Amino acid sequence: QKEVEQNSGPLSVPEGAIASLNCTYSDRGSQSFFWYRQYSGKSPELIMSIYSNGDKEDGRFTAQLNKASQYVSLLIRDSQPSDSATYLCAVTGTASKLTFGTGTRLQVTL
């Protein structure tokens, strides 16, 4: 079982729709959770962090965390073509190592 799992996609959503990206993790002691966005040919960029159960909203982005289910998600409202990128879920486990998922490629279509 991979430490951090994501569906590789591509996830295709029409412009203006809600994109829902999901991630599961195996280390039950994990405490910190992050979403990074990586455009093609660029380096990852931190867009959201979440540390406690529930929702955290920042503009069009909402991160959701459920530690009991070992599940973290990212919702992007009013998706724009500029949101087309690979979204990486990252988790800090009990060994204080940051582990990345392999990413979900999002395509926002016109």
Partner 1 sequence: KAGVTQTPRYLIKTRGQQVTLSCSPISGHRSVSWYQQTPGQGLQFLFEYFSETQRNKGNFPGRFSGRQFSNSRSEMNVSTLELGDSALYLCASSQTGRVVGELFFGEGSRLTVL
Nearest to 78 by CA among 37, 17, 19: 17
Range list of H helices, the chain:
none
Total number of residues that touch partner 1 (CB under 8 A): 22
100 binds partner 1 (CB under 8 A): yes
CA–CA dist 56, 54 (Å, integer): 7
Among 7, 22, 70, 99, binds partner 1 (CB under 8 A): 99
Chosen residue from 1, 54, 95, 110 binding partner 1 by CB under 8 A: 95
Q: Site map for partner 1, 6-45, x if CB under 8 A?
A: --------------------------xxx-------xxxx
